Structure 1
Amino acid sequence: MPALLAVTLPFFALVLCGWLAGRFRVLPEAAIPGLNAFVLFFALPCMLFRFGAASPVAAVFNPRALALYTACGLLIVALAAGMSRRGWVGRRLGWQDAAFGAFVAAFPNTGFMGMPLMVALLGPAAAAPMMVTLLADMFIISGVCLALAQMQGSGHLPWARRLRALMAGPLKNPQPWAIALGALFSVMGWALPAPAARIVELLGGAATPVALFTIGAVLWRSGLHAQRRTPPAEVLPIAALKLFVHPALMFAGGLALAAAGWPLEAFTLMVLTLAAALPSASNASLLAERHGADNGRVARIILASTVLAFASFTGLAALFGVEPVAP
């Protein structure tokens, strides 16, 4: 456990630093979108490109892992949305708020936190399964949740138009393109010229600290602009789905696949299970705000899952017997 804490504690401490920087106005609120843009459009794509170029393509586009992760994510979406619609989270919610509750229940913070944390714990081999989860979340899980959100007040929109709108977001995001470009370099055996490789290395190296710091700052900003105070009954059930039910379902699904004669590698199943145990994606609160949902509730779910994940994620890694490869 001390070796695990030596890895996980600094990651969560950097998130706290970002929150404190916003809380005490060391970081101006106007600077937060710039930090987020730097990570999203520069640092993180470079990190993903490097991992993609260094990973076997079959591992990055593993259909069995993709199917398992997607199926479990969709089950969590259905469970979270159903709980919200039936009022099992303190009150009955409309489709829009139920959809964004499902979004944060099923969408882990893979890019900003999960990728660097998992590589620090398990080594570069963890990058390929993590990219599987990122692709599934961006193209399938988020699309389903946004489609559910549009069921409230937009029934007149043609389905073709809805589909185009839903696909526009992932296709404009540089992360899947960075993974695809890295996979192309891996297949072709290409390498960047030395100066370009050094630039990508420097930008990719900045991804982890800046992304973690940005998570905290985004959480502070989201709480600042919350529409109302959200009671714990509307927050904790969804956070529990994210941190406990999601990874348990993932591990059980892996065991079921093995029993059916389609086993995943033990390492891949462990990575998928730990990925499901990550806290909710921090940018979900910004997305909820943009779509007019209750971003305060979403922000508090993300905050609760992030705080609790320090103990739950570290404990799950200890149960798996993880021996960190990085101090």
Structure 2
Amino acid sequence: MLNILLVTFPFFALILAGFVAGHRRMLPLEAIPGLNGFVLYFALPCMLYRFGESTPIVQLLDPTLFVAYLLCALLMVAFLVAVSLNRRIGWNDAAFGALVGAFPNTGFMGVPLLVALLGTGAAGPAIVTIVVDLVFTASLCIALSRLDGADEHGAARAAKSALKGVLINPMPWAISLGALSSALGYQLMGPFAKTVGLLADAASPVALFTIGAVLARSQIRVKETGHAPIVWRDYVPVVFIKLVLHPVLVLLVLITVNQLGYTMDRFTLMVVVLVAALPSASNVALLSERFEADTGRIARIILVTTAAAFFTFSGAVAILHP
């Protein structure tokens, strides 16, 4: 367990450093979107491209893993929406609560952390889950969030908006180009490879620092808007579902898939369960602002899952990693 904590501690320490920098205004709030943009549009795509390029194409095109993880995502969204809807929480807040409860922080945090823990072989399965969450989980939840609207075409418009967001998001394109390079055996020429490598090396530390800064920004914005106190029953159940039930569900579904005769090796199963054990994706707070959901509730869920995951994620690694 101590060896695991020695690996995970620096990752969570960088998140804490970003949170402190944002909270104490050592990093101006206006600079945080720019920092997030650097990670999203430059550093992280280069990291994903590099992992995709070096990963065998059969791992990136694993239909069994893709369908099994998609099923888990759909079950999570349906369950979270069902348990969240009430007089105070409508479709918009329930949908984003489902997104924050079903969407792990795989891109910004999970890939570098899992590679550090398990080696480069962990990148392939993790990348498959990123594709599912970016294309399907996020799009579905954004469409569901519009069901509160008076316009009956709100969900259809939101679905189109979500798909447009996928098309302009560089991460799926970086993964696709990396997979194509892997399939063709293509490698970038020296100067281009070094440029991509420099940006890829910056992805992990800057992304982790940015997670903390985004969380601090969300907390500050919520206080500035005079948000009403967030009651524990509006966020604690989602935290529990994300950190405990999500990985358990993924484990049970993947074991069932194996029993049905669809072979999945133990290493892939372990990686995907650990992906599910990650805290909630920090960019959901930015999406909730854009779609006018209860950002205070979403930010609280992300903050608590990130803090608690230092213990729960490390515990999951200790249980699953031989």
TM range (shorter): over 0.9
Matching residue of 2:264: 264
Asked if the contact 1:236/1:301 (under 8 Å) is kept, the reply is yes
Q: 1:189 aligns with which of 185, 188, 209?
A: 185
Q: Deviations over 1:272-319 (max 9, x none)?
A: 100000000001011001101000000000001001100000000000
Asked if the contact 1:84/1:92 (under 8 Å) is kept, the reply is no
Matching residue of 2:70: 70
TM-align CA RMSD: 1.3
- SS of alignment partner, residue 278 of structure 1: coil
Q: Deviations over 1:41-92 (max 9, x none)?
A: 000000000000001111112111011111111111111111111x4xxx64
The answer to whether structure 1 residue 139 and structure 2 residue 138 are counterparts is: no
Identity of aligned residues (%): 50
Following superposition, the deviation at residue 157 of structure 1 comes to 1.5
- Measure, in 2, the Cα distance between the counterparts of 1:294 and 1:160: 22
Matching residue of 1:164: 160
Matching residue of 1:110: 106
Matched AA of 2:185: G
Following superposition, the deviation at residue 233 of structure 1 comes to 1.4
TM-score, length of structure 1 as denominator length: 0.95
Matches within 5 A, 1:283-322: 283-322=283-322
Following superposition, the deviation at residue 160 of structure 1 comes to 5.7
Matching residue of 2:176: 180
Q: 2:196 aligns with which of 197, 200, 217?
A: 200
Unaligned runs of 5+ in 1: 323-327
Matched AA of 1:119: V
**Is the helix fraction higher in 1 or 2?**
2
Q: Deviations over 1:100-137 (max 9, x none)?
A: 00000100001000010011011110101000000000
Distance 1:161 1:30, change over 3 A: closer
- Measure, in 2, the Cα distance between the counterparts of 1:258 and 1:93: 38
Q: Deviations over 1:234-283 (max 9, x none)?
A: 11100111100000000001111122111311111111100000000001
- Measure, in 1, the Cα distance between the counterparts of 2:135 and 2:6: 34
Asked if the contact 1:229/1:296 (under 8 Å) is kept, the reply is no
- Measure, in 1, the Cα distance between the counterparts of 2:306 and 2:75: 22
Matching residue of 1:53: 53
261-270 vs 104-113, which deviates more?
261-270
- Measure, in 2, the Cα distance between the counterparts of 1:163 and 1:288: 15
- SS of alignment partner, residue 148 of structure 2: coil
How many residue pairs end up in the alignment? Answer: 318
Q: Which portions of structure 1, spanning 4 or more consecutive aligned residues, are displaced by more than 4 angstroms?
A: 158-162
- Measure, in 2, the Cα distance between the counterparts of 1:33 and 1:210: 13
The answer to whether structure 1 residue 252 and structure 2 residue 228 are counterparts is: no
Matches within 5 A, 1:28-107: 28-85=28-85, 87=86, 92-107=88-103
Following superposition, the deviation at residue 159 of structure 1 comes to 6.6
Matched AA of 2:242: K
